[in-house]
Amino acid sequence: MKTLKIKRPQENFNKFCSYDLFVGSDKIAKLKNGEEKSVEISTELENEQLYAKIQWCGSTKINVNSIEPNPTITITGNEFLNRRMPFIIGLFPVVGIIIFTGTSQLTKNIGIGVLILLLVFLVGTLTIGRSKWLRVEVG
């Protein structure tokens, strides 16, 4: 049986959401903002993978076998996705102003191109990048 010390530092983003910690398909812990717990993993789960989830997004998976005895595992949010992406989303109204109030065809085409790029970035982040929303670090 392995004992893991799991901590979530104090964060300003995602502070009202709990991080769920899974080994395989079994939920082993729920961490609130700034919380620290010790969790025991039974021997039948030591061949599974450890990962964290928040709503539909999560983290990359780590093999439980590769974790050294008595480690400290830190679960944090991805700084770019959680802090800076809302500012990128804030570009939608600016692009809308460019598209609908632009006087020349060139500015409208540039606005439409930027809007398409923003939508592709947003869809890609929420589908392909959803396993990078959280970081699980062993150390």
Q: pLDDT (tens digit, 0 to 9) for every residue of the chain, 139 residues total?
A: 788 899 999 988 788 889 999 999 999 999 999 999 999 888 888 889 999 999 888 998 999 888 888 889 999 988 777 677 777 778 778 777 777 787 788 888 888 888 888 888 888 888 888 888 899 999 7
In the structure encoding, which two tokens stand for residue 53, read together?
């989830």
pTM (2 decimals)?
0.75
Q: Among the CATH numbers 2.40.10, 2.40.160, 2.60.40, 3.40.50, which is that of 2-77+133-138?
A: 2.60.40
Q: Using the structure block, give the residue that is written with the tokens 């989303």.
A: 89
User: Taking the mean position of all CA atoms in its chain, how far away is CA 29?
Assistant: 17
CA gap 94, 88 in Å, rounded: 11
Question: What residue spans define the domains of the chain?
Answer: 2-77+133-138, 84-125
Handedness of CA 85, 87, 88, 92 (dihedral sign): positive
